[in-house]
Amino acid sequence: MRKLALHWQILLGMFFGVLFGLLCSQFDWGKSFVVDWIKPFGTIFINSLKLIAVPLILASLIKGVSDLKNIAQLSNMGGRTIGLYLLTTLTAVTIGLTIVNVIKPGNTLSDATRTELLASYATDAAAKQSVAAVQQEAGPLQALVDLVPSNIFAAMQDNGNMLQVIFFAIFFGIGLVLIPKQKAKAVKDFIDALNEVILKLIDLIMIAAPYGVFALLAALIAEAPSADLFKALGLYTVTILIGLFTMIVFYILLVRIFTRKKTGFFLKGISPAQLLAFSTSSSAATLPVTMERVHEHLGVEEDVSSFVLPIGATINMDGTSLYQAVAAVFIAQAFGMDLSLSAQLGIIATATLASIGSAAVPGAGMVMLVIVLAQAGIPEAGLALIFAVDRPLDMCRTAVNVTGDASVSMLVAKWLGKLGKPKAKNWDDHYPGK
């Protein structure tokens, strides 16, 4: 019998978790049974995601930066590429924050449901609030001071210090670029191998995802069996989908304005890669197809596509960063937290930098969300609110990530004079571009 794909397993875990939670909530002993014997497995699953966050950032980000080869590439093609990737990521996070603040999906929770949630995670919320209070008393440049760690091993002991880990990873990657290749080879080989190990660990963790989702959903339903929770979750999903669609429109406009390529030409050329990204939820798995479509069907010369796209698969996660921004604010709204403008600006910075360290594999976005929540002082236990719909949304945001990579590669090629006619024999002359 053919084994079910992981996303179907997770969807079944969602369904049976909700069903089990509803069933147990009908009995007086049901809630305590779920909290004592089911919920701990969900907590273990979340902890395993948090466990992998630091090594994931170190391995993935150092690899991405060190693959820039040399400073000349970094200052020319690399500078343009990274600048565009950061611009699109900042745009994605800003779009996400704007839409979630307009729709306010977390505010649809009733006071009773919110009170139950706050009671369930009161200790965690209090701890985060105390940290936030300390940060508010700091000086205006304290954020810059906190960005640079005095001890990287101390920084790696706390997920709340993840910006320091990101800074070190970028700094370390630049160092690898600057030293002779033969001396850097051993370190890069180790980093490459470490990255492969981390990706395999994520695969192993994701095997348990259906069971983790089952436990999380069962506990969520048993502890707060309120219809408005599902209404809020549906509105949260719609909010993210609106944001992702807006990003697709943004990419189309960039390509149209700066490369003069028509919308049909761009979408027709990249659509097979989008569909593969949607089905696999992995930018890395889609990369060979993305490179073929961009070079053969969108007219980007091979030296540009072979440089820009692998870097994009590592550091350009626009869909993921948009999702992180929306999810963070949604969870904060669900817990009745009022995020200040400075806190939301912090989410923009953290989500942008965290997306650089997101591995191009299924489930990595959830790991990076832990970083954003911790940095913003939002209870990390709120992951239980959104994990149920994470897999379908992961498929959508991966398609957006791949689309962003393709659009940036076209812009870089245009500026370097390396964007020509597609090489594919079946290219449709109905979609020419200058």
> Residue 431: helix, strand or coil by DSSP?
coil
**pLDDT value at position 137?**
62
Between the alpha carbon of residue 65 and those of residues 178, 202, 356, 399, 410, the distances in Å are 11, 21, 10, 23, 21
**pLDDT value at position 22?**
87
* DSSP secondary structure letter of residue 116: H
Q: Which amino acid does the sequence have at 299?
A: G
- Domain positions in the chain: 6-415
As given in the structure block, the two tokens for residue 12 are: 């079944």
β-partners of residue 300 are 419
**pLDDT value at position 115?**
62
Between the alpha carbon of residue 269 and those of residues 8, 152, 264, 272, 401, the distances in Å are 29, 44, 8, 8, 16
DSSP assignment of 325-388: HHHHHHHHHHTT----HHHHHHHHHHHHHHHHT--SSTTHHHHHHHHHHHHHT--GGGHHHHGG
Among candidate residues 63, 125, 34, the one with its CA nearest the CA of residue 357: 63
**pLDDT value at position 432?**
42
User: Average pLDDT by consecutive 10-residue portion of the chain (434 residues)?
Assistant: 64 85 88 90 81 76 70 69 87 91 82 60 48 54 76 79 76 87 90 84 79 82 63 84 95 93 90 79 74 86 77 80 88 80 78 61 63 74 69 82 93 86 54 39
β-partners of residue 419 are 300
Q: How far apart are CA 278 and CA 280, in angstroms?
A: 6
As given in the structure block, the two tokens for residue 429 are: 């002359």
Among candidate residues 128, 172, 134, 135, the one with its CA nearest the CA of residue 152: 172
> Residue 300: helix, strand or coil by DSSP?
strand
As given in the structure block, the two tokens for residue 371 are: 């970083």
As given in the structure block, the two tokens for residue 319 are: 């869909």
Q: How far apart are CA 187 and CA 176, in angstroms?
A: 8
Q: How far apart are CA 79 and CA 99, in angstroms?
A: 30
Domain 6-415 has CATH 1.10.3470: no
> Residue 196: helix, strand or coil by DSSP?
helix
> Residue 5: helix, strand or coil by DSSP?
coil
Q: To which residue do tokens 């069962």 refer?
A: 218
Q: To which residue do tokens 């962003």 refer?
A: 404
Q: What angle do CA 164, 170, 176 make, to 5 degrees?
A: 135
* Cα dihedral: 138, 87, 287, 176 (round 10): -60
